[in-house]
Amino acid sequence: MKAFAGILSATYLLALAAGVDARAADPSTFEVAATEIDDLKSVYATVRSRDLIYARVRTPGTVVALKTDEGDSVGQGQVLALVADPKIALKIKAIDARIVAATSRMETAKVELERSQTLLSQGVSPQSRVDQAQTAYDVASNDLKAAQAERAVAETEIQEGEVLAPTAGRVLKVPVTEGSVVLPGESIATIAANGYLLRLELPERFARFMKVGDPIRLGARGLESPEAPLASGRITQVYPELDNGRVIADAEVPDLGSYFVGERVLAWISAGKRQGYVVPRPFVFRRFGIDFVRLARDGSGYADVVVQTGRTGQTPDGQQSVEVLAGVNAGDRLVLP
């Protein structure tokens, strides 16, 4: 009798280990079927700025004030630096002296013209003297206007010493410091404008698979948890020219503003289609570090079967799903645990 009880206990334990139970199957079931899924390949993408704009110097001189640094966010028209040329101040002083002299000559010519016109009205002075005085007055007036225009040009050169941000964006590089001597056309700052994108450089064997609109998924960054939610996006451009045996493509992914320009990011792209089994995530459970699914048997029983899982995703209705690489076959009916 004891021997029979021991045999019965051992049989029960074996049945428990196999996951066989006499309970009725759960009404919530899922039938496994082969479906076409993207064959994802892991690659590294680089965060790039959509456009690189240079804030350039318009007038030669010395950088007397630098009002930006790497990493700053700037707006369009914001003053990034002040460039001053000491010769401009001396030039303005010389022009001011010329203006004073031209003003004196004009006032003198005006007095002489009025005197000549008075003498002409009295019949004492000839008309030629009036014409000569009028000419002298016109010349002095034009000299004054020319000096004033030259001073306005010098003042404009001072205003052009303000280096302005040509567009809104984030400053990536500032190659000068205060006291640096710069020439017209030199860059004061490099600005990343119009947001970021991902630049993919892949072996040319991927060229026949990649196309605009293909999905792309990003992996966790640096010290982030592998369980952190993954960002996703779309390929927006595939360049038609190979560069050193590599096909180049750009992808748009939201919320890249916190990334560093030039940061390498793990990404998955589609390298074709293949057949596979995708099941809703609730049907897969973990026990002792091993993934199981509950497989319905003929009749009213079921069995817990070990499966090998792959990447996670979403079903068309928005539910979490997981790819099952091994352990199930088409037509199997799964039961919620």
For the beta carbon of residue 73, count every other beta carbon within 10 angstroms.
13
Architecture of domain 19-37+275-335: Beta Barrel (2.40)
pLDDT at 21: 39
CB atoms near residue 289 (< 10 Å): 5
283, 302 contact by CB (below 8 A): no
The pLDDT score that the predictor gives to residue 13 is: 34
The secondary structure of 16-75 as a DSSP string is HHHT-B-SPPPS-EEE--EEEEEEEEEEEEEEEEEEEEEEE-SS-EEEEEE---TT-EE-
d(CA 280, CA 1): 47
Low-confidence residues in the chain, pLDDT < 70? 1-27, 221-230, 257, 299-300, 314-318
CA distance 164 to 173: 15
* Topology at the third CATH level for domain 61-185: Four Helix Bundle (Hemerythrin (Met), subunit A) (1.20.120)
| CA–CA separation, 82 and 67 (whole Å) | 8
Q: pLDDT at position 16, please?
A: 33
pLDDT number for residue 3: 38
Q: What is the pLDDT of residues 146-162, one digit of tens each?
A: 988 988 887 777 778 88
Residue 225 Cα distances to 47, 220, 221, 222, 228, angstroms: 20, 7, 8, 9, 5
Burial of residue 199, with CB atoms counted within 10 A of its CB: 0-12 exposed, 13-18 middle, 19 or more buried: middle
Contact between residue 152 and residue 53 where contact means Cβ atoms under 8 Å apart: no
pLDDT given for residue 55 in this prediction: 92
d(CA 254, CA 42): 19
Query: Domain limits of the chain?
Result: 19-37+275-335, 42-49+195-272, 61-185
> Is 42-49+195-272 the same fold as 19-37+275-335?
no
Token match 């020319």: residue? 146
pLDDT of residue 41: 80
**How many whole angstroms separate alpha carbon 88 and alpha carbon 217?**
57
Q: CA torsion, points 210, 323, 230, 214, in degrees to nearest 10? A: 20
Give per-residue pLDDT as tens, 259-302.
788 888 888 887 777 888 888 888 888 888 898 888 887 766 78
Q: How far apart are CA 203 and CA 199, in angstroms?
A: 13
Token digits for 40? 């994802």
In DSSP terms, 252 is beta-bridged to 234
pTM over 0.85: no
What does each C-alpha distance from 114 to 26, 121, 128, 221, 302 come to in angstroms?
A: 116, 11, 14, 85, 121
Closest C-alpha to 169, from 73, 246, 261, 256: 73
Rg of the chain on CA atoms, in Å = 41
DSSP state of 168: S
d(CA 85, CA 68): 20
Q: How many CA atoms lie within 13 A of 210 on its CB side?
A: 26
CATH number belonging to domain 42-49+195-272: 2.40.30.170
Identify the CA nearest to 88 among candidates 155, 145, 149: 155
